[in-house]
Structure 1
Amino acid sequence: MLISLPKGFSYSKFLYLAILMILATFSTKLAARLGVPGMIVFLLLGMIFGSDGLNLVQFNDPVLAQQISFILLIFILFEGGFSTKKKLLEVAFRPAFSMATVGIVITAVTLGVTSHLILGLDILSTLLLGSIIASTDAAAVFALFRNKNIQPRTAATLEIESASNDPAAIILTVAMIDLILGKVATPLLFFVNLGWQIVAGIGIGYLIGKVGPYLFNKAKLNTGGFYYVLILSMCFLGYGLADVIKGNGFLAVFMAGFWMGNSEFVFKQGITRFLEGIAAFCNVMLFLMLGLLVFPSEILTFWKQGVIIALLIIFVARPIAVFASTVFWKYSFKERLFLCWGGIKGSVPIVLATYPYVAGIDNGNFYFNIVFFVVIISALIQGSTIDLLAEKLGLLVKKKPYSPYSLELLTLEESQCELLEYDVKKDSCLIDKQLHEIPLPKDSLINAIVRKNEIITPRGDTTIKGRDILFILVKYEDKDDLLTILEEGCLDENKQTEQS
């Protein structure tokens, strides 16, 4: 990133960037209190520090911004896939995939046609605009849902859709640009290209997701730090291989993260924490950079078109696409309403909005400014009310108890064990039971109990209370049996006798 200082300053050119990142970090507390997504605050900070604001950090290169955005999105999507549970993907993948393909086309066409009719803009321009804005944003959705308590299947549908709808949006955008520039592609070629990108992306993701754990288990590296290097190489390898064979790199990265996240391998808990940190950093940098790229004075000149297009996509195009593309799956009306409202825009539409400028289309800045305005409105209206709507629709689940403690089992060799964190629900049959009464699988051990933010040393006569958090060392092969015991209260006398 190129940074230049105003005249009269002699500080290091990195000083303002450091201040910007620190402000962005602490601004998350302000965003939480105001009930707005953190991405809004990051974008605004970028605009304030940028060339059209205080002019402290100059950055106005859309091509470079596009390249940096791709790198940051690789890590965001990999971590998103890594944290997605297999059971949720199996339930939500098909409807999410339908929304990510058929839904994208319906959204783009609906928004393009309605914008043309209402605003009187050229039909090709509005269809291009619809293609750019059609995709939901993985960075925004993952960041927004990370600390939310949304019903798992519905949240997973939106997360998987946002991670897999980039191929359709990118191909639509490129196809419309080619059409405007007179490079017409046949419909058959369009669908063949789309299909190949999806199939190749999933295939490469599966390959990396299976090879990755094998490499971790066989590497036997000297220090834990090298495992962090290895996981970063898996991210780039997934994207790079897919790109070489003309597949979709973002989809490959998400699927690679998914398969690795649902596999057991050496140093996994350390890798999980590391990826969370990397994803948080990438989210902050992505939205700060896009904020720096914006000139607020230019955006305000398009506010009327921006407001109309934002309202059209939120209340017309997105609902039509969701209801049409989920018709074959059993979602309730309330769930579909939430899926409509969860189509939050973010960095990907802004990145796609640089395509017309890079391609040399006349008035390329028009698309960027309109899309940025739409993203701001989408994040403010939809992102700020997502919890409220989920509560009104009855889609909130009980919040997990908070603990200031985190216990981890970090090993550089194959241990075949993990440290399981289990929350004791208020209605659990474990309540008022003593530890020696629980028929744990052989070689399993409760290492610690967190109760009301205090650590309780576990002993045989320790009594379990509601809202306790148990840290249990268990072998991989016994994990399912352990969860069955804890969930179903398998405390019959025969098993107690066997354990004793």
Structure 2
Amino acid sequence: MLLFISFLIILAILSMKVSARLGLPLLIGFILIGILVGSDVLNWFYFDNALLTKQIADILLIFIIFDGGFRIPRNVFRSVAGPSLTLATLGVAMTAVALGLLIHVILGLDLVYSLMIASIISSTDAAAVFMITNANPIKPKLAATLNVESAANDPMAILLTVTFIQIVNKAFGSPVIAVLSLIWQFVGGVLLGFVCYKISALFLQYLRSENRGSYHVLMIGLILMTYGVADLVKANGIIAVFFLGFFLGNYNFPAKRSVSSFLESLSTIFNIALFIMLGLLAFPHRFVFIWKEALIIVALMMFIARPLAILLSTIPFGYSFKEKLFLMWGGIKGAVPIVLATYPAAQGMDSNGFIFDTIFFAVFMSCLIQGTTLGALAKLLKFTEPRKPPLPYSIELHSLHLSEYDMIEIPVQATSPYKNTPISRLNLDKDMLITSIVRDGNIILPKGNTIIKENDILFLLAPLSKINDINRIINLKP
């Protein structure tokens, strides 16, 4: 078993390189690995337990969605908060309702059953969207809109799915109770995310451990605590951990960069595990029975439901038609819909596997079609920007206490008035210090007569209060 797991991990990492070169969402590579070693192909590992999949996936999603919130900067969130959160809430609801009605009319399925299926596939995939926007640098406004929406819209899809499952099972006494429960789950999740953030900030501030690993373990405990408290009071734990991640990601605490790297690794591991597990759960030979319905759902979603939701949700926010067109095509589906597709089976509502197989096939086609063409569409519409070279080094300031200083990276742009001038002529304050320079992949120790060149990356130790001014000083004003 350990040899088998090691083989899967190595194969998954190799698939990441292949997926990046081919421009494919990582989801496709990981799921294909699961299908390959699963029951229908090599039959190395038989797995068909939807209930266990749901239980494991729920735990993995806690950390994946927390990390999504953790990486959203406050200024980016504010710049697109209106349209992104509207798309992540109202947009998801509109997509689910429009798609559900179309499924009901065209496929002839029961209305509530159709709305449940539409809710399952109504959210977009953060991992796929992040990979594509990173691989194809897109204008900040559009990239931030898609990134924040994809990171924030999973909770609404989860809420709608659970709500319709409960309606089908007659768990609610009336629609009013269903609506009130939906409102409380969302509002309660946001409130608990903020309250737990305040508690977490105190723990992180006063831990003062010399071992960075202590902060990593503490973070795991804080995330699980937030989810557990939300579950205890019947609020939505996914929403709570997302906003906990957002607030902590914009809070300065000791060993933050180390914790950030740890969370990135954890999210990568859990994404790989989640996608491979979902691939194992798939039985491709059953697709022959549902491929027509799945293709109809994909077409309705991509060309009617999502565009309609985008057009209506972005009315107050001044997006051009070209920008709306790009946002329409950016509704790439991913892991969460596949996970949600296991919920009906876990409730005994999908005995023949129709829901799971249909959603799985639809998600795969969305990734394959939209995921591989979104970057090309951005170039066609002229929404891309020059790619920034990867940084070969990282320097972190590790402090056991909160500090007013931090280490930042500043690239010297072609427009900088200081290029080809010595460091001594930079108009930096006395409390700012250039600690090192990265040039052509090598580290240079700076001196007063060291010449600043275009494309240099400067590592500066500076007060947190002045970080926003440093890039302006170096790149804009002499």
**CA deviations over 1:287-343 (Å, ceiling 9, x no partner):** 111001111111232111111111110111100011111211122212211211111
Report whether the alignment pairs 1:379 with 2:367: yes
Q: In the alignment, which residue of structure 2 is the partner of 1:132?
A: 120
Q: Distance in 1 between matches of 2:214 and 2:135?
A: 30
Q: Distance in 2 between matches of 1:210 and 1:148?
A: 36
Matches within 5 A, 1:447-462: 447-462=435-450
Report whether the alignment pairs 1:20 with 2:8: yes
SS at match of 1:134: coil
**CA deviations over 1:46-74 (Å, ceiling 9, x no partner):** 00111222121222211111111122111
Q: In the alignment, which residue of structure 1 is the partner of 2:341?
A: 353
**CA deviations over 1:221-275 (Å, ceiling 9, x no partner):** 1311111111112221222222222222112112111111111111111112111
Q: Distance in 1 between matches of 2:364 and 2:435?
A: 47
**CA deviations over 1:167-199 (Å, ceiling 9, x no partner):** 432332233334434556533323322221221
Q: Distance in 2 between matches of 1:382 and 1:134?
A: 15
Q: In the alignment, which residue of structure 2 is the partner of 1:498?
A: none
Q: Distance in 1 between matches of 2:195 and 2:167?
A: 35
Closer/same/farther in 2, CA of residues 320 and 265 from structure 1, 3 Å limit: same
Closer/same/farther in 2, CA of residues 159 and 193 from structure 1, 3 Å limit: farther
Query: 1:312 pairs with 296, 300, 305, which one?
Result: 300
Q: In the alignment, which residue of structure 1 is the partner of 2:240?
A: 252
Q: In the alignment, which residue of structure 1 is the partner of 2:158?
A: 170
Q: Distance in 2 between matches of 1:175 and 1:266?
A: 40
CA contact (8 A) 2:54 2:346 kept: no
Report whether the alignment pairs 1:81 with 2:69: yes
SS at match of 1:413: coil
Name which of structure 1's ranges 29-38 and 311-320 shifts more when overlaid on structure 2: 29-38
Cα deviation, residue 398, structure 1: 2.6
Q: Distance in 2 between matches of 1:253 and 1:323?
A: 30
Q: In the alignment, which residue of structure 2 is the partner of 1:115?
A: 103
Report whether the alignment pairs 1:303 with 2:291: yes
Structure 1 residue ranges without an equivalent (≥5)? 1-12, 492-500
SS at match of 1:450: strand
Q: Distance in 2 between matches of 1:288 and 1:145?
A: 23
Name which of structure 1's ranges 260-269 and 476-485 shifts more when overlaid on structure 2: 476-485
Q: In the alignment, which residue of structure 2 is the partner of 1:283?
A: 271
User: Aligned letter for 1:188?
Assistant: V
User: Aligned letter for 2:61?
Assistant: L
**CA deviations over 1:416-466 (Å, ceiling 9, x no partner):** 321101111122222122111112122211111111112222111111111
Q: In the alignment, which residue of structure 2 is the partner of 1:4?
A: none
Q: Distance in 2 between matches of 1:164 and 1:187?
A: 25
Q: Distance in 1 between matches of 2:309 and 2:128?
A: 20
Q: In the alignment, which residue of structure 2 is the partner of 1:104?
A: 92
Report whether the alignment pairs 1:388 with 2:376: yes
Q: Distance in 2 between matches of 1:184 and 1:77?
A: 28
CA contact (8 A) 2:112 2:164 kept: yes
**CA deviations over 1:129-170 (Å, ceiling 9, x no partner):** 112111223343344444441222322222322333334323
Q: In the alignment, which residue of structure 1 is the partner of 2:194?
A: 206
Q: In the alignment, which residue of structure 2 is the partner of 1:153?
A: 141
Q: Distance in 2 between matches of 1:292 and 1:393?
A: 38
Q: In the alignment, which residue of structure 2 is the partner of 1:266?
A: 254
Cα deviation, residue 34, structure 1: 1.8
Query: 1:476 pairs with 457, 464, 468, which one?
Result: 464
CA contact (8 A) 2:415 2:476 kept: no
Q: In the alignment, which residue of structure 1 is the partner of 2:317?
A: 329
Q: Distance in 1 between matches of 2:334 and 2:21?
A: 21
Q: Distance in 2 between matches of 1:376 and 1:222?
A: 46
CA contact (8 A) 1:449 1:468 kept: yes
CA contact (8 A) 1:353 1:367 kept: yes
Q: Distance in 2 between matches of 1:190 and 1:93?
A: 27
Matches within 5 A, 1:214-233: 214-233=202-221
Closer/same/farther in 2, CA of residues 147 and 410 from structure 1, 3 Å limit: farther
Name which of structure 1's ranges 132-141 and 177-186 shifts more when overlaid on structure 2: 177-186
Q: Distance in 1 between matches of 2:133 and 2:55?
A: 26
Q: In the alignment, which residue of structure 1 is the partner of 2:181?
A: 193
SS at match of 2:448: coil
Report whether the alignment pairs 1:410 with 2:383: no
Q: Distance in 2 between matches of 1:33 and 1:169?
A: 31
Structure 2 residue ranges without an equivalent (≥5)? none
Q: In the alignment, which residue of structure 2 is the partner of 1:464?
A: 452
Report whether the alignment pairs 1:433 with 2:421: yes
User: Aligned letter for 1:441?
Assistant: D
CA contact (8 A) 1:140 1:347 kept: no
Query: 1:91 pairs with 79, 103, 115, which one?
Result: 79
Instruction: Return structure 1 stretches of 4+ with deviation > 4 angstroms.
Output: 182-185
Q: Distance in 1 between matches of 2:461 and 2:169?
A: 62
Q: Distance in 1 between matches of 2:337 and 2:136?
A: 23
Cα deviation, residue 363, structure 1: 4.2
SS at match of 2:323: helix
Q: Distance in 2 between matches of 1:124 and 1:198?
A: 21
**CA deviations over 1:449-485 (Å, ceiling 9, x no partner):** 1111122221111111111111111122332333332
